[in-house]
Each structure stands twice: as structure tokens, then as C-alpha cells.
Chain A
Amino acid sequence: MKKMNHGSQIFASILVNAVYAMINYPIVLISTLLAPFAFLIVISFVSHGALLPIAIGGALIMTMISAGTSLQGDLSHLKNDFKLQDMIVSSPTSARMYLIGMAISEIVYALPALLVLAILAGLYINTSILGYASIMAVMSIMFIFSISLGFFLSTLTSDVIQSWAFTGIISTILSALPPVYYPISYIPQQFQFIAYISPATYAAQIVQNATGYVTFSNSTLLIDWIVIIAVAAAMTVIAVKKSKWRED
């Protein structure tokens, strides 16, 4: 049997889900560029620029989380409206290669926004190399978490309406609840526990600590790291084991 070119398999996902979408519809580029800046701009204006570093860190996290939300929507669309998943299942492509390719495609899709945010981070976030490394690590972990969640949910959907419902729930839990663009102290204390439902809150605390704007105790940071690594690992295992690639 002919050897599989895994590079080709990953490249196919990047082409379909990012490159061709951008080439065929350039408006996509503007949309993806603007998405993380809406909140960043509002928070910066409201705080008279004081929260800009935190908001930039938040936008970086949210860009990674949005990748999972987008992936869930994109894959559900391709699966339910075009029956692409069935075509791919009946081919030598494995669920793993499809997921890796689609995950990278979401990064490629988000590249314009990430590039601008990276420049802003370089300009406005004063931190050490370790601080930047922490931010990068948190971004990577949140990316793995959200991509796994998005892939898992997409394989369960049978209709795009169902997919929209999942998107709404994920967005609320991962984007609206957590204080990503501002410190958790801005939320009244009696409601702060709600924010801790979302793993994004733990990720935000690490990034906010790295920016130097808010200082958390070492024990809090340790818990934050444990939580985000644990949920990302658990979600990856669920995505690999429980996703409905071949239906039963």
C-alpha cells in the first residue's frame, strides 16, 4: 500500500479552512482581524488606557479560545451541509490527522490578528522573558483545550442549528463569563465564583500576573496552571476517545 503523506493531509485542511477561504473571500481577512479588537478597544477606552496591557493579554487568550469555537462551527458546517466528514471517513485520513490539520488551519486563519496583537504586546506589555513564555504557554494550552472541545462537539452535531447552540454555550462559558479583558476584582465578590466555572478565568489570571498589572499568590498561580493543564488534557482525551468519527 502506498505510503500516506501526512503533510499533505494537514495541508488539505489548511487550504480548505483557511487559505482558500481567505483567497476566495478576502472580507474574511478583515473579519478575523477585527474580531479580537472589539473588546480590547472598549476596555481600553473605558479604563482610559489603564487596562490596555491586560486587555491585550485577554485578546491573545480569546483569539486562541475563539479558534475552538470557530472550529466547532466550521467542522459542523462541513459535516452537516456538505457531508464532507463522511467522505473523509471513507478515506485513509484518520480523525487525528483531520483534527491536527483543522486545528492548524484555525491558527492560520487567526494569524493576521495574532500578528497585530503580538506587536501590541511587544509595545505595551512590559514583562520578562519568563512572563512572555508564560503567556505563550497559556495560549497554547487554551488552544489545545478549545480545539479539542470544538472537534468533539462538531462530531456530535447532526444539524447546523444544533451547532449554533453549542457555539452559544461555549461562547458564554469561555468568553462572556471569565474576566479575560479585566481583573477578576472588577466582578462583585459574591459573583466571582461564577467566573471560576470557566477555565479561561484561570488562564487570564496567569496572563494578568505575567503582565505585572495584577499580582496573584504563588499558590493561586499553581492552581491556575493545574486547572488549565488538567482541563486541556481531559478535553484532549475526550476528543480522541469519544468523538464520533465512525458513527455507532
Chain B
Amino acid sequence: MGYLKCIKITKEYEKASKALRSVSFKVPSEGIFALIGRNGAGKTTLVRILATQLLPTSGSANLAGMDVVKDAKDLRGMIACVPQEARAIGWLTPRQFILSYLLWRGMDYSEAKRKTEDATKMLGIDQHLDTANRLLSGGTKRKVLVASVIASGAKILFLDEPTTGLDPISRSDLWRILSKLKRTHFIFLTTHYLEEAERLADKIGILDEGKLLALGTLEELRATVKYPYIIKILSDRKMLKPREGTVVKGVDGYYQIATKEKDAYEISKELIKEGVKFSMNPLSLDDIFYYIAKKPIEAENYEKDESW
């Protein structure tokens, strides 16, 4: 299908500071690309620019061979977007909402009617087709929006935090659907559930304060981290120093050793010998995000930590 290519995209709002600062990247427009970042990182601004809702202050972006500014009219036939905080209109039923959305996109009535039923069946919400949206659960309401964009036939979908606020079961349901969908669509997904990106995404971008800090597959991101293993000591007992690595204090208050594979193995052997409770894992996306964004953790070199 081609690539999504952003070249130095910058967005400045009138009064606020820069929402995006010269964001450049290139990813294949297939599978799922997940953009992760904290609230206010600029994720929604980037989605809105790429989904042709917002003009960038400078820079350009190209999607499926089309410029998102100059070729917006043609591009809009190929994309569909579920914006952050979008809600299925309360006074409509899912059937009425999806049908209307498809008609708005220029579909014939009979085709729209058929596609509405197919999409709701696919998402397992066909039993709610004629229930008012306002009476549906949060998860089902989200699925109504996702069903709308799936039914549209657009091959490029922008989903801005589609699972925010959903319970774990609804979230997992939606993940299953997106996993299936990514075989035939390019999905640009934003999330601050790092587990979501870890599970679904083929490529992951980390955005912070309007800057793209890292981009790659999970393995590629893991490889950018100097110490790819984490040993978490589950007690306040003094821990062993790694030959090479850092000691960090996690958000949960426990001290952790970030080190290389060989050191991690040696330390874990010692800890087992001493009967210390611990866990050892390769870095999760959460750890990588903390490492790259360097915000929620106070990283400190173990040599400087005199309490050890």
C-alpha cells in the first residue's frame, strides 16, 4: 500500500506552546502503527493533521502516495477516523448511526444498510442494533464507532485512543477485532495503554512534548535501551550491584536493577541463593517508554547511591 511519511511536521496553536515539533518518520502503511505518549504529548494533533482535520503550521505528510494537505479531497475517500472522545449520537440507535455515517460517505442506501448489518455482526454488537446508543455500555458504544469506520470500506483507519475508559474485557474484545482488521487495513492507533501497543502494533512511535523520541518494532525499541533486562527486588533488602547497569527506583517504590543479560543472569543466581524474592524480565514497552521519556523514573547511577 505504500508508506506514511511525515516530514518536519510542526503545529503551533495560537496561545499554547508547540504541540508538534518537527516530527519526521516513515512507516509502511500496513498493519498497525501505534503512537504512544502521555496526555498532551501531541498524539491527537498528529492524528488530526494526518486525518485531514487540521492543517500543520509547517512540514508535510504523505499517505498512500497523497499529500494530506494538497490531496486531502482524494485522500478522504480512503480514510476514516474515530476521534478521541467521539461518541455515538445518543438519540440514535447503532443501526441509525452507522447507516447515516455510510450515507454521509456517499454510499447507496441499500449498500449502506447491508454493510451496517455486516459490520455490527463482525463486532458482535448486532443484538444491540435497535437499542438507543445512550442505553449501551461504554464498550458497545465504542464498538459502534469502530463498526462505522470498518463498514465504510476505508482501508486506512485512524483510531485515537479507542480503548480509553473501557473495562479490561471490552478492551480485550476490541484488541481481538483490531488484530483481525490489521491484516487488511492500515490502522494508525494512538494509546497511552502501552500494553495495547505492545500487543497490537507492528511499529511503535514514542511521542513526548511534541517530539518523536523513538520509532521501531518492539524489539528495535528494546535494542535502543542500553540495559534490556530488569530485576525487581520485591523487598527492601540491599541488592547486589551489577557489574554494569543502573539502579532505578520504579514508580511502585521498589528498586530495580537495569542491566545486560549476562549480569542479570549472575545477579538472579545470587538472589536465589540468598532467598531474596525478585522478578526478572526483559524490558516491557512500559519500561522502554519510561527509559526513553525519562520522566516517571529517577534514574541514578548505582555508584553514586551511597545507601547501597
A interface residues, Cβ below 8 angstroms from B: 1-6, 8-9, 11-13, 15-16, 20-21, 24-25, 78, 81-84, 86-94, 98, 246-248
In the complex, the answer to whether B100 meets A12 with C-beta atoms within 8 Å is yes
Contact among A1, A16, A86 with B74 in the assembled complex (CB-CB below 8 Å) = A1
Nearest B residue (CB) for A28: B91
Q: Shortest distance in angstroms between A41's beta carbon and chain B's nearest beta carbon?
A: 29
Sorted from nearest, which 4 A-B pairs have the closest CB atoms?
A12-B103, A4-B106, A90-B81, A83-B86
- For window 41-100 of B, CB contacts with A under 8 Å fall at 48, 51-55, 72-74, 76-77, 79-89, 91-93, 96, 99-100
Query: How far is it, in angstroms, between the C-alpha of A88 and the C-alpha of B103 when the chains are bound?
Result: 11
- B79 to chain A: which residues have CB within 8 Å? 90-91
In the complex, the answer to whether A92 meets B80 with C-beta atoms within 8 Å is no
Known: A1-B74, A87-B83, A90-B158. A9 touches B91 (CB 8 A): no
Interchain Cβ contacts under 8 Å between A and B, 8 examples: A8-B104, A8-B107, A8-B109, A9-B103, A11-B109, A15-B103, A16-B89, A91-B76
- A91 to chain B: which residues have CB within 8 Å? 76, 79-80, 101, 104-105, 152
In the complex, the answer to whether A82 meets B89 with C-beta atoms within 8 Å is yes
Q: Shortest distance in angstroms between B47's beta carbon and chain A's nearest beta carbon?
A: 9
Contact among A20, A82, A98, A248 with B87 in the assembled complex (CB-CB below 8 Å) = A82
Query: How far is it, in angstroms, between the C-alpha of A78 and the C-alpha of B105 when the chains are bound?
Result: 17
Known: A6-B106, A24-B132. A247 touches B54 (CB 8 A): yes
Q: State whether the Cβ of B108 lies closer than 8 Å to any Cβ in chain A.
A: yes
Query: Is chain A's binding surface mostly helix, strand, loop or mixed?
Result: helix
- A25 to chain B: which residues have CB within 8 Å? 91
In the complex, the answer to whether A90 meets B53 with C-beta atoms within 8 Å is yes
B interface residues, Cβ below 8 angstroms from A: 48, 51-55, 72-74, 76-77, 79-89, 91-93, 96, 99-101, 103-109, 112, 132, 148, 152, 158
- B88 to chain A: which residues have CB within 8 Å? 82
In the complex, the answer to whether B55 meets A87 with C-beta atoms within 8 Å is no
Q: Shortest distance in angstroms between B91's beta carbon and chain A's nearest beta carbon?
A: 5
- B104 to chain A: which residues have CB within 8 Å? 8-9, 12-13, 88, 91, 93, 98
Query: How far is it, in angstroms, between the C-alpha of A123 and the C-alpha of B213 when the chains are bound?
Result: 74
- Beyond the given pairs A5-B106, A20-B96, 17 more chain A to chain B contacts, judged by CB atoms under 8 angstroms and listed by A's residue number, are A1-B77, A2-B77, A8-B108, A9-B104, A15-B100, A20-B91, A20-B100, A82-B86, A82-B89, A84-B89, A90-B79, A91-B80, A93-B105, A94-B73, A246-B54, A247-B48, A247-B54
Q: Shortest distance in angstroms between A27's beta carbon and chain B's nearest beta carbon?
A: 12
In the complex, the answer to whether B53 meets A89 with C-beta atoms within 8 Å is yes
In the complex, the answer to whether A89 meets B82 with C-beta atoms within 8 Å is no
Query: How far is it, in angstroms, between the C-alpha of A1 and the C-alpha of B66 when the chains are bound?
Result: 14
- A83 to chain B: which residues have CB within 8 Å? 83-87
- A248 to chain B: which residues have CB within 8 Å? 54-55
In the complex, the answer to whether B91 meets A21 with C-beta atoms within 8 Å is yes
In the complex, the answer to whether A247 meets B53 with C-beta atoms within 8 Å is yes
Q: Shortest distance in angstroms between A198's beta carbon and chain B's nearest beta carbon?
A: 32
- B93 to chain A: which residues have CB within 8 Å? 24
